[in-house]
Every structure is written in C-alpha cells, then in structure tokens.
Amino acid sequence: MTTPQTALEIHLAARPKGRPTLDNFAFVEVDVPKPGPGQVLVRNLVMSVDPYMRGRMNDVKSYVPPFQIGKPLEGGVVGEVIESTVDDLRPEDVVVHNLGWREYAVVEARHAIRIGSNLAPLEAFLGVLGMPGLTAYVGLVDIAQLREGDTVFVSAAAGAVGSIAGQIAKLRGAARVIGSAGSAEKVSYLLDELGFDAAFNYHDGPVAEQLAAAAPDGIDVYFENVGGDHLEAALGALNNFGRVAVCGMISQYNATEPSPAPRNLALLVIKRLAMRGFLVLDYDHLRPQFLGEVGPWVREGKLRYTETVYQGLRAAPDAFLDMLDGKNVGKMLVQVAG
C-alpha cells in the first residue's frame, strides 16, 4: 500500500483534574515522518489503553515521565513495518512497540519487538501474551509466591490483568480463586467462562462481607488492582503469613484528595503479612519463562481471554475513559487500521 503524506495523532490537550474528559485530548494531523538510521516506520494496527496511562497525564514525578501537553500520548501497539533502515526488521514484519495513539510511528528498531501468530492472534500480544499477561504472571509467581493449595482473591477480576491472574492461579494449583467485579454480567463471566470458584459484584454490598462469605476459611494471596475498601477487606480475610501483590489501585486514580488508608493496617503485623508493590517493567527477564508457560495454555485453550475493541483511532479517548469506568470485559483495545 502507498504510505500517506499525513496521518492522525492524539495529543494531550490539557492535564485533567479528577476524571479525564474528552477535552483533555486533541486530534492532530501531522506529516508522516521518514525513518532515520536505526529506525523503522510502522503503520499501527491495534493499540492498547491501560490504567497506568491515567497517571502519566499528571505532571508529577513517577516511574515514567508524564505525557507532555501538545505531544502525542504513548502506549503499547502492534503494527506493520512499512520502511526500515536496519537489517533485522524488514517491511511487512509485525512488531510490538510503545508509540501508540497515532496512525504511523517512527520507532527505534531496538524498541520494536518482532512477533508472530503461531501462539495467538496478533492483538493477544497486547493482552494475554503482552504486558497485562506478564503482569499477572509476575504478581502471582514472583511477588505473591503462589503455592499449590492457596486460596486467592483477585480484585477487578474481569479486567485485562485480573482475568488472567485468576486463571493462572487455577492452572498453577490454587485450591480456590475468588474475584470481584462491578456488574452481574462480569460476575457471570468469571464463573461461567473463566472458571473462578466464587465471584461477587462489589456494588451489591460491603466488600468485606461478600469476601468473608466467599472465603469462609480466609485467603492466602490477594492480587490487588483496586485499593480502598478492597484492600481493607483483603487484609481482614488474609490468613497468617498471607501475601499481597499490589499491581494497581484504580479506585484512586481520579481522586482529587488523598484517600484514607485502610483502617486495619495493624493486621500486617498481627498476621505477619507480606505486601509488596511491583512494576512489570522490572521483570522483563521473566518474559521467556512467562511465554514458555502461558503460551501453550493459550494455544491449547486452557487460558481464555476476552477483548473489548473500539474501532478507529478517533475512538481511543472514549475507549480510555470507558476503561477507567470499568466498562470493558478483558483487555480494552482500539483497532487503528485494518
């Protein structure tokens, strides 16, 4: 196909205060650049929107630089190489890189990972076989030190990470896996499609009461995606020497005031609990182990996954906002091009 002269990008128009709105995004037509030495031009096909992007919209010091006003946002994307100045990547190769939120991107070749479709469809490398899947794997296997026979509680269990974490726990021998979600539809999805042993809608009543009913003998591992009342409930339900892998706290991402800490943090001492936060970017060395174990599960249909897909790059802001509101089941993706 012929490369166009101009293409669409989505820029950060203004920093949000509280929940972002469509006014925080700008659609900008730009010239399609030419790759320089060591670079490739990629036509983006499918992009990811993820909760961590909300933090990058704020001008605060963090583990990654904030998005810049007047510049395109970034995020994981699968694309096709159109032009290349390196021998290792050629036109028609399909790669994963981090310059999403635009139709075309010039990418440093060393930051583009060639992928194939022998394990799963290409978009799976943004979800179950990509960053969310690796996050779930690292949180359970390395951070929480999952053991056979454990009872595991996963919050936001119908999301991109939680839905994979619960299944990995079962496949690795957990005795019981419990999930929380935000609708009756998602609860049914966890129970009927993903094989969770118990699940509840956190809108139906206090999380602590519903968790206690689902885990009368307590829990051994908590995979934390939500924070707030979920964390407080999990600390109350954890057995002695329980482990908490803190992946995210989406309930606080749009907060304009500091959220109160759980009121029962003393249980960390009383129960001798281990609670540790982590960033998946520190664990790329586990990617081969992850793909070696999880890839066959995906190929054999033992680990199931769902994607919520919005069509066209102009739909990306809506997809992002809806993801923050929990309207997705599984991984939220945007089909940038056919």
DSSP string over 195-254? --SEEEETTSS-HHHHHHHH-TT-EEEEEESS-THHHHHHHHHEEEEEEEEE---GGGTT
Residues of the chain scoring pLDDT < 70: 1, 117-119
Intervals of CATH 3.40.50.720 along the chain: 131-281
> Which pLDDT belongs to residue 119?
60
- C-alpha distances (whole Å) from 46 to each of 5, 19, 69, 102, 152 are 21, 25, 24, 10, 32
pLDDT computed for residue 310 by the predictor: 98
pLDDT of residue 253: 76
Q: What pLDDT is attached to residue 63?
A: 87
Q: Tell me the pLDDT tens digit for each residue of 262-291.
A: 999 999 999 999 999 999 999 999 999 999
Q: Kindly report the pTM of this predicted structure.
A: 0.90
Every domain range in the chain assigned CATH 3.90.180.10: 6-127+306-335
CATH 3.40.50.720 fits 131-281, yes or no: yes
Reduced to 3 states (helix: H, G, I; strand: E, B; else coil), residue 39 is strand
- Going by C-alpha positions, the residue among 176, 187, 179, 174 that lies closest to residue 217 is 176
For residue 244, give the amino acid letter: V
Q: What's domain 6-127+306-335's superfamily in CATH?
A: Medium-chain alcohol dehydrogenases, catalytic domain (3.90.180.10)
Which contiguous run of DSSP H or E holds residue 134?
Answer: helix 131-138
